[in-house]
Each structure stands twice: as C-alpha cells, then as structure tokens.
C-alpha cells in the first residue's frame, strides 16, 4: 500500500459493541501503511447535531460519514477517514467522527466518557459540536457521569499523563496542556445577534465571554465555573464558529443530497470559513518532546489507549509514548542491522588480504547503521536500544571476520591442492627415493611454495593454511631425509634443527599476529563506541535545539494569548468603569424621577415601556426600587402574567403580543442582545377591563 492513502470512504477505527470498545484491525492496517505525518481532526457532540456533515465537508465529499435522521445515534464508536491534506503536501488528514453522546438507548454513559477522552487523546484539533447558544445547558451537556461532573472536568480522572502515581499527583493537569489539541466549538442553528454593550463581537469573543468565571464564591457558582475553568485550562488555544440553520426542518433529514445552491447562503459561507480554518490551523499530531506522529505511531496510540480501557486501567500518555518508543526503537535497531548486513554483503568482497582492509570497509558502514538508528529512534531511556545495537554490531562484525577467515581457508585449501598435488604424486611414484633425493624434494617444494605465495586472492589465512599443509606432510620430508644416503648423520641432524627453528619462528610470528589482531579488534570496538557516543551527542543537541524552538513557539503563542487576554481585561475594566459612572448617573436620575412620580402618581398606571423589576448582578438578585415605587402606587387588584424559558426561544414575542398596541412592541427583545443582564426580569403594568395586568418577562439564566 502506498504511503499516501486514498480511502473511498470511512471505516470504523474503534468499535463500540455491547458497551465494549475494541480497535478494528482493518483500520489499524490502513494506519500502519501511512508513513506521512498525520493531522488528526476529531469531532464530538450530542447525537443528531450534524457532526458527520461537517466531517464530510472536511473530507471534500458530499457524503461519506453517515448522517442519521432519527432520534438514535447513527454513528457507533469512532470512524476514521484518511485523505491527502488539501493544503499540506506530504501530510495525511485523518478525520475522526465519533458516536453521538447521550444516545437515548444507552443506560450507561461510561463509554461516552471514554469516546470523549479518546477523541482528545488522538486528535491535534478537537471539535465540540452543539446546537444553539453557549448557555448553562450547553455546558451541562458536557457531562454524563453525574450531575456535578463534566467530560472536560473528568479528563483528569480518565487520563493520566505520568505512569508514576507520585509524579502524576504533583500537577498532572499541567502536563496535559503541552500536548492537548486545539479546541474548536461549533454552534449549529445559531440565531443570536453577536453584540455586547452595543458593539458587534466575533464568535471567538462570544466564546471567551461565555467562559467568563463568576466572581461570587458559593456551591452554585463552583459548578458554574468548573467546566469553564477546565476548558480555559486544558485548551489554551480556542476557536468558535457559528452556523445558521442550513435549510428547513424537512430538508435536514436529507442534507447530504441537497445542492449547496438550495442551502442558506450564510450557512454555506460559514462552512467554508470553518473548513478553511481547520485546514490552515490544524497542526501535525505531536507527542510530548515534539515527536511528530505518522500512521504507524497513531496506530500504536490507538492500541495502547484502547487496551488500557479494556483492562480496566486509565489511558496514560507517558505509557503510550514509552510503548511507542519500544516499538519504534526495536524497529530502528532492526533497520540499522539490515542496512549493515546489506551494505557489507554488497561492498565487501571476501576474502580480504588483511584484517585491516576488512575493518576499513566495515567502519563507514557501521557509521551509516548508527545514523539510521538515530534517525528512527526516540526516547531511548538509558540508551537501552543503542546498547543493544552496539552489541549486535559487534557480533555482526565478528561474524564477518570469521566468515572472511572461512572463505580464505577454503580458497587456500583448494589452491594448495592444485599447486602441491603434482609433488605428492612424484613422492608416491618414488621420484625422490635416491641419493640426493631430499635436496631435490626441498628445491621442488620451495618452487611450489613461491608459486603459492605469488598467487593473489588467498586472503588473510594464506600463511596459516600453508603451515597446516606443511605440518600434515612433515612425515614425508622426514622419511626422504632419513632415506637419502648422500647425507651424513651430522647433516641430517643440522637439517632437523633447521626445521625445528623455522617452526618455532613461525609459531612466534603467529602469536604476534594474533595479539595484533586482538588489539585491532579492541580498537575497532572502541571506535564504534565513540561513533555511537558522537552521534548520540549530536542527536541530543539537535533535540535540545528543536525543543527550545518548540518551547519558543509555545511561549510566543502564550504571550500572544496573554496580550489578547490583557487587552480584553483592560477593555472590560474600562467598560465597567463607564458602566459604573452611568449607573451612578442613573441612580441620581431615578431618585429625582421617583420623587416626581410620587408627587404626580395616582391609582391609574400607564407605563409606556418595561422596566427592570429584579436585577441579577454577579449571581445576586436585587430588587429595583423604581419598579417597587410603581407597584406601591397600584391600588387595584392585579393579574400577574409571567413567562420563563431558555433565552432566545421567542418568549419576548409572546409577551409583546399581550401588551401590543397598534402592532407596536412595548417589550424589547430579551436574550437577543448580549448586553442584557442574564437572569433579570422586566415588567410592564397596564389596565385591562378595570384590572391592572402586570406582564413579567423573565430573562432565563444562560
């Protein structure tokens, strides 16, 4: 399979069957074939919120991920679609569409939590998809374990960053931030006007305002702040997109078949803006230490995390990286050894004439093997795998030296048989069994020995094999010496001593050569070790520089975020100052107005516009004294009509109908301007049939 994957459609990556998660082998095989860096985009949200439609758009297709149209979750488990990255050549975009959370058929939501956690762990960009606005209900929809905990706040319980409990307890959440994905919140069927304090705001500013913490400290505000605090803490890089309703209700069930020309133009434009951002801003999936993830590495992460869940444990990021390091470092050792063997067999012609010649050829090939290991290895704790490589290279070098000697011995043996064969035949035929025959035999032997010495390609065993051959034929020479009647006994004794002296000299020379060979072997081993140390030092320096650069980039990002938040804080403080001054002016004006009203007021009440009855300031309810003044002046019985609902659900429209005069709305729209204080109630008093009717419109909490 080619490194660039062109999948015709998605396949299931993690199956969810009978509340049990399991990795799908077909999907794992696809990942193992992707050698390119991967950009992983995962989407999570409640079922039937249109997640699959957005993922199909990211895949550049009208359909692919299944779009359900019933009240049941249509996607089960986590599905994967790998496509070439449209803006980053040489990269693969991995899209993960997850099972809808909160399916009505589920009795236990534990798997929802695991799917949420796996999407966070595996992705480089994490998309949370929801319907409507960011209100307290949307925040509450992030939890299923119990009413007081959310998916986001459960992350510290579902995921470990360190394998050691002692390390993990120090500040585990601080370790998450470095390699948690970018966070994107997509809001579907969004109908609010994005305004605050009379000014237009962006979706990103809307998200940040929605994540503002309450300053009041009590049990209620703690549950209010907790999910917001966790999102701010775990996901420092955040983005928000809003989408209009794409079409009518009946058309939504067949959205994948509707041409874009029939969809809302605003929706089409918003989807284009969303996909453009995801393509340009999503990073390659990166592990702690700046390790870029490719297909096989992502495969390993999936297996490690799912196996941890299956065994009843917690997915541990450090364990995942160490497991990945074990796999890849073992593979790096194998690649290095395979390269060494291939190049030695290709470049070294055995036998070599000397050991040094073989070692000179071996050295650059060893260096290349070490370079390959350094290239493909990472997080080699205590240099375990580098030491393993060193031991294997020593063994392979020794093996080639022995093979070199064996080839040389075999070649010399054949050569000795060819050269000295005729001499052996002459001995058998008795050619030298005569006076002076021994001298003639020595002369013939020396001639053949010279011929043997001058023959090339014998290898470093040439002398050893010649010695062994002569040793095996000693009795022939001794017999001829004793039979030669032309030699005196004294001459024979001298010849015997000469032969012994020559043998002793040969033995000493061999001993010296053996010592020199051992010294060369030790020297070569030391050079190999020094080369490993040198390359390890260079790699560590390179990784240090890359880490510093990565840290610099992260620092710059954090500095930009800090400046952004500092600017927002400054603007907020300035706005609060202006509001405080305006509030002081309003209080003075109200006091004057109230005094006038108390003088002019009678039982007939005619309010021209609504006013605030109860204010909600920092989660504290305060009664408006001006409104109380109006109520105190009403002497007739009152009919009180109140309406309560989620904000931006049309409640104000109904109340305007109750007080409508000449089709002119008296109650300003509630919930359609962010500047309105959430949780406040406003009222209007009017006379209907002799009774005073108090119409109360209650602003719902976010």
> Under 8 Å CB-to-CB from 266, ≥6 apart: which residues?
244
pLDDT, one tens digit per residue, over 602-615 is: 445 556 678 788 87
* Top-confidence residue, 620 or 352: 352
* Top-confidence residue, 614 or 123: 123
> Under 8 Å CB-to-CB from 260, ≥6 apart: which residues?
268
Tokens 């399979």, located at residue = 1
Which class would CATH give 332-545? Answer: mainly alpha
Helix (H, G, I), strand (E, B) or coil at 406: helix
pLDDT, one tens digit per residue, over 560-571 is: 666 766 676 677
pLDDT, one tens digit per residue, over 265-301 is: 999 999 999 999 999 999 999 887 778 999 999 999 9
Q: Output the pLDDT for position 290.
A: 79
Give the CA distances from residue 32 to residues 86, 295, 547, in Å, rounded to whole numbers and listed in that order. 21, 5, 27
Helices and strands, counts by H and E, the chain: 20, 17
> Under 8 Å CB-to-CB from 146, ≥6 apart: which residues?
none
Among residues of the chain, what percentage have pLDDT more than 90? Answer: 30
Q: How confident is the prediction for the chain on average, in pLDDT?
A: 78
User: How many C-beta atoms lie closer than 10 Å to residue 388's C-beta?
Assistant: 16
The boundaries of every CATH 1.20.1000.10 domain in the chain are 332-545
Q: Output the pLDDT for position 540.
A: 67
User: What mean pLDDT comes out for the span 39-49?
Assistant: 87
User: What mean pLDDT comes out for the span 10-24?
Assistant: 90
Q: Output the pLDDT for position 87.
A: 94
Out of 133-147, 242-256, 353-367, 614-628, give the one with best mean pLDDT. Answer: 353-367
Out of 446-450, 514-518, 605-609, give the one with best mean pLDDT. Answer: 446-450
> Under 8 Å CB-to-CB from 519, ≥6 apart: which residues?
none
Q: Output the pLDDT for position 648.
A: 61
List alpha helices for 378-488, DSSP H: 384-428, 437-454, 462-472, 474-483
Q: How far apart are CA 535 and CA 552, in angstroms?
A: 25
Q: Output the pLDDT for position 501.
A: 74
User: How many C-beta atoms lie closer than 10 Å to residue 116's C-beta?
Assistant: 26
Among residues of the chain, what percentage have pLDDT more than 70? Answer: 71
User: Which strand ranges, in their side-by-side order, compose the sheet holding 620-623?
Assistant: 620-623, 611-617, 681-688, 691-698, 638-643
In this structure, of 338-347, 362-371, 539-548, 611-620, the range with the lowest mean pLDDT score is: 539-548
Statement: residue 342 has pLDDT above 90? yes
In this structure, of 63-77, 171-185, 356-370, 683-697, the range with the lowest mean pLDDT score is: 683-697
Of 178, 130, 206, 142, the residue nearest 283 (C-alpha)? 178
* Top-confidence residue, 1 or 443: 443
Give the CA distances from residue 224 to residues 10, 210, 500, in Å, rounded to whole numbers and listed in that order. 38, 11, 102
pLDDT tier, 111 (very low <50, low <70, confident <90, very high otherwise): confident
So what's the architecture of 602-698 in CATH? 3-Layer(aba) Sandwich (3.40)
Q: Output the pLDDT for position 102.
A: 66
pLDDT tier, 510 (very low <50, low <70, confident <90, very high otherwise): low
Statement: residue 24 has pLDDT above 80? yes
The boundaries of every CATH 3.40.50.300 domain in the chain are 11-158+181-293, 602-698
pLDDT, one tens digit per residue, over 623-632 is: 888 778 778 8
Statement: residue 42 has pLDDT above 90? yes
Q: How far apart are CA 433 and CA 441, in angstroms?
A: 10
User: What mean pLDDT comes out for the span 406-423?
Assistant: 94
Q: Output the pLDDT for position 591.
A: 66
* Top-confidence residue, 662 or 162: 162
pLDDT, one tens digit per residue, over 223-268 is: 788 888 878 888 888 999 999 988 777 666 667 667 777 888 999 9
Q: Is the overall model pTM greater than 0.85, yes or no? A: no
Q: How far apart are CA 239 and CA 388, in angstroms?
A: 47
Residue 351's Cβ-side half-sphere holds a number of Cα atoms within 13 Å equal to 22
pLDDT tier, 29 (very low <50, low <70, confident <90, very high otherwise): very high
pLDDT tier, 157 (very low <50, low <70, confident <90, very high otherwise): low
* Top-confidence residue, 316 or 307: 307
Indicate the CATH number for domain 11-158+181-293. 3.40.50.300
Q: How far apart are CA 123 and CA 237, in angstroms?
A: 14
* Top-confidence residue, 215 or 489: 215
Out of 41-50, 475-484, 560-569, 577-586, give the one with best mean pLDDT. Answer: 41-50
* Top-confidence residue, 685 or 615: 615
User: What mean pLDDT comes out for the span 58-66?
Assistant: 85
- Positive or negative CA dihedral for 115, 117, 118, 123? positive
């Amino acid at each position: 399979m080619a490194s660039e994957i062109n999948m015709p459609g998605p396949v299931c990556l993690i199956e969810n069957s009978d509340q049990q998660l399991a990795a799908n082998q077909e999907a794992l095989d696809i990942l193992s074939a992707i050698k390119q860096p991967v950009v992983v985009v995962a989407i999570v949200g409640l079922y039937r919120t249109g997640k699959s439609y957005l993922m199909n758009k990211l895949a550049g297709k009208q359909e692919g991920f299944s779009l359900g149209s019933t009240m049941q979750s249509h996607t089960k488990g986590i599905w994967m679609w790998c496509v070439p990255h449209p803006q980053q050549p040489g990269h693969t975009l991995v899209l993960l569409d997850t099972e809808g959370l909160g399916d009505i058929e589920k009795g236990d939501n534990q798997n929802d939590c695991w799917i949420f956690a796996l999407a966070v762990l595996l992705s480089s960009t994490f998309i949370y998809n929801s319907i409507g606005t960011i209100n307290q209900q949307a925040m509450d929809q992030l939890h299923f374990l119990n009413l007081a905990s959310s998916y986001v706040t459960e992350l510290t319980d579902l995921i470990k960053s360190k394998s050691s409990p002692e390390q993990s307890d120090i500040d585990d959440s601080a370790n998450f931030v470095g390699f948690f994905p970018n966070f994107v919140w997509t809001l579907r069927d969004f109908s609010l006007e994005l305004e605050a304090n009379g000014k237009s705001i962006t979706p990103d500013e809307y998200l940040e305002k929605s994540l503002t913490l309450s300053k009041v400290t009590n049990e209620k505000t703690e549950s209010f702040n907790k999910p917001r605090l966790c999102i701010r803490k775990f996901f420092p890089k955040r983005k928000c997109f809003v989408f209009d309703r794409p079409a009518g209700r009946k058309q939504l069930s067949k959205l994948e078949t509707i041409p874009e020309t029939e969809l809302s133009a605003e929706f089409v434009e918003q989807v284009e803006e969303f996909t453009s951002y995801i393509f340009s801003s999503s990073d390659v999936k990166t592990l702690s230490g700046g390790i870029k993830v490719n297909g096989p590495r992502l495969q390993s992460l999936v297996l490690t995390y799912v196996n941890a869940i299956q065994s009843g444990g917690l997915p541990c990021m450090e364990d995942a990286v160490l497991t990945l390091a074990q796999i890849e470092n073992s593979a790096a050792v194998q690649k290095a050894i395979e390269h060494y063997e291939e190049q030695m067999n290709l470049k070294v012609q055995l036998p070599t004439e000397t050991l040094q010649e073989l070692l000179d050829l071996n050295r650059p090939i060893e260096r290349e093997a070490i370079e390959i290991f350094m290239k493909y290895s990472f997080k080699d704790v205590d240099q375990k795998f580098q030491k393993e490589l060193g031991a294997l290279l020593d063994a392979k070098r020794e093996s080639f030296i022995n093979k070199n000697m064996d080839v040389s011995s075999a070649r010399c043996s054949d050569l000795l048989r060819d050269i000295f064969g005729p001499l052996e035949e002459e001995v058998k035929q008795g050619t030298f069994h005569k006076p002076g025959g021994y001298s003639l035999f020595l002369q013939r032997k020396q001639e053949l020995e010279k011929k043997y010495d001058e023959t090339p390609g014998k290898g470093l065993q040439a002398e050893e094999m010649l010695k062994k051959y002569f040793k095996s034929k000693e009795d022939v020479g001794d017999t001829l010496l004793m039979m030669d009647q032309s030699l005196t006994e004294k001459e024979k004794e001298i010849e015997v001593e000469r032969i012994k002296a020559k043998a002793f000299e040969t033995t000493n020379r061999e001993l010296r050569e053996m010592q020199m060979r051992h010294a060369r072997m030790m020297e070569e081993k030391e050079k190999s070790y020094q080369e490993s140390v040198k390359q390890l030092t260079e790699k560590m320096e390179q990784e240090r520089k890359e880490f510093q650069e990565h840290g610099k980039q992260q620092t710059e990002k954090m500095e930009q975020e800090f400046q952004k938040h500092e600017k927002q804080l400054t603007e907020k403080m300035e706005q609060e100052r202006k509001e405080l001054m305006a509030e002081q002016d309003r209080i003075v004006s109200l006091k004057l107005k109230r005094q006038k009203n108390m003088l002019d007021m009678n039982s007939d009440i005619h309010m021209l516009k609504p006013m605030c009855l109860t204010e909600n300031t920092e989660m504290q309810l305060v009664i408006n004294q001006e409104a109380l003044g109006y109520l105190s002046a009403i002497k007739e019985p009152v009919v009180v009509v109140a309406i309560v609902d989620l904000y931006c659900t049309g409640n104000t429209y109904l109340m305007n109908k109750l007080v409508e005069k000449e089709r002119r709305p008296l109650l300003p729209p509630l919930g359609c301007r962010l500047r309105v204080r959430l949780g406040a109630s406003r009222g209007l008093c009017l006379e209907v049939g002799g009774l005073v009717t108090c119409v109360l419109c209650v602003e719902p909490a976010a």
